[in-house]
Amino acid sequence: MLQRLQEEIKLKSEEILPKIKEYRTHLHMNPELSFQEFETANFIASKLDELGIEHERISETGIVALIKGGQEGKVVGLRADMDALPITEVEDGRGHRSKKDGIMHACGHDAHSSALLGAAEILNSIKKDIKGTVKLVFQPGEEKQPGGASILIKNGVLDNPRVDLMIGQHVMPLIKTGNVGFRPGLYMASTDEVFIDVHGKGGHGAMPHFCVDPITISAQIITALQQVISRINNPAIPSVLTLGKIEGIGATNVIPPVVKMQGTFRTFDEEWREKAHQKIEQIATSIAAGFDAKAVVKISKGYPFLKNDVDLTQSCQKAASDYLGADHVEELGIWMAGEDFSYYSQEVPSVFYRFGVRNEALGITENVHHPAFDIDTDSLKTATGMMAWLACYHGHKI
C-alpha cells in the first residue's frame, strides 16, 4: 500500500507543480506582516474550498484544515507559516517582485504555504487509502514574538482531534534544489532580545570631568559581556550574545546623556539561559554603577530551543530516503537561528526539516532575510511531495 501511495504522490506532485508555482507567485507578490495575514488567509481558504477540504479560522488569521483518512490511525499535523518580513525587495527585474514596498517574503513562508496547499490537494485525492487524520496548520506570526505557534497552541490547535506528531519544513538556501536535510535532537536555539539603556550625564566633549560618559561606559559593558559566552558559559553549550544596535546621540563635541543598546542571546539549555540573563544584568548594572551611571536592563524572553524528536526524525529520514533516494538526504548541523515551531516540539513529538532551494546556475544563492532572497521554484515539487509522503508514511508506520 505505502509503495503505491508513494508513486501516486510523486506523480501528483509533478502534475500540480505549475499550480503550486502560481500559488507561490501570488503569495510572494502580496506579502503581509506577522498577524496581519488577512488576505493570505483568505487566499488559502479559497483554495481549500475549491478542494472541498473542511477548515476553520483560528486566532483571526490562522487556518486549520482536516483530511480524514479511510482507516483509523494517528493524527499527523503538518505546519506552514504565512507571514512576511519588513524588508524592501531588490528591483532586479524579477517578475514576481513584491507589490508592497517594505514588505517581502524573504524567509520562504510563501513557499511553505504553497507547498502545504499542494500536499493538501494530493492527500485529499488519496484520502480513502490514508490511515488516520492529517491536520493542516497554516500559521500566522512566526517572525514576531510571542510567535503564532504559541498563540495557536493556547487556542487549541493541537486538540480536537489531538495531534500525535507535528511535521514542519523550511527553505534552505544552502541546500540545492531536490535535496532535504534533517537533524535529530537539538537543532535551533532559543531566542531572547536584550535591551540595555545606560544613563549618564551629558555635556561638553571638552569637559568630560563634568559629565558621566555613557558611551565609554557602554563600550566597557559590551566588552565585558563577551565573557558571558567565553568564560562563564560551559563551552559544550552552544550560545551567542550579540549586541547589534547601539544608539548614543551626541556630536563631535557633545557627550550624550543616554546610550541605548539592543541585541540577542541564544542558547540550547534552559538552566543556563536563566543564569545568563542574570549575568547580563549583573555585569551591565555593576559596571555602570562603578562609574556613577545607571544601566537599565530588560530581557524579553522569546522562543524556546527547538528539539527534534530523535525517533521521529530518524523515521522521517528513512522515509525521505525511500522517497527521494539516500543521496538526496543530508545531515544538518546546529542552527543558531530561532523558530517558533519549537513550541510544537515542547508539546508533541515533532520534526522540523529543511528543503533545498538553491540553484547556482540561476543565480539563486542568497540566504533568508536578504532583500534578494529567492527560491528555485522547482523545489516546490520536493516540498509538496515530501509533506504529503511524510503524512502518509507516519499515519501507517507509527
CATH of the domain at 271: 3.30.70.360
Nearest to 112 by CA among 368, 318, 343: 368
Same domain, 8 and 114: yes
* Tens of each residue's pLDDT in the chain, 398 residues: 788 999 999 999 999 999 999 999 999 999 999 999 999 999 999 999 999 999 999 999 999 999 999 999 999 999 999 999 999 999 988 899 999 999 999 999 999 999 999 999 999 999 999 999 999 999 999 999 999 999 999 999 999 999 999 999 999 999 999 999 999 999 999 999 999 999 999 999 999 999 999 999 999 999 999 999 999 999 999 999 999 999 999 999 999 999 999 999 999 999 999 999 999 999 999 999 999 999 999 999 999 999 999 999 999 999 999 999 999 999 999 999 999 999 999 999 999 999 999 999 999 999 999 999 999 999 999 999 999 999 999 877 65
Domain containing 53 equals 2-189+304-397
168/206 same-domain check? no
Looking at the 3D structure of the chain, how many domains does it have?
A: 2
Where does a domain end: 241, 267, 301? 301
Q: Do 339 and 359 belong to one domain?
A: yes
- Give the residue from 301, 332, 360 where a domain finishes: 301
286, 346: one domain: no
212 and 321 together in one domain: no
pTM to 2 decimal places: 0.93
The reply to whether 76 and 185 lie within a common domain is yes
Do residues 64 and 172 both lie within one domain? yes
In a shared domain, residues 368 and 308: yes
Query: Do 142 and 242 reside in the same domain of the chain?
Result: no
Does 11 share its domain with 56? yes
Out of 301, 327, 344, pick the residue that ends a domain. 301
**Domain identity same for 103 and 210:** no
Strands (E) in the chain, as ranges, are 55-58, 62-68, 71-81, 131-139, 165-176, 180-182, 185-188, 192-199, 203-204, 240-247, 254-255, 258-266, 294-301, 306-308, 329-331, 350-358
- Which residues lie below 8 Å from residue 255, measured CB to CB, with a gap of 6+? 200, 202, 203, 204, 205, 208, 211, 213, 214, 215
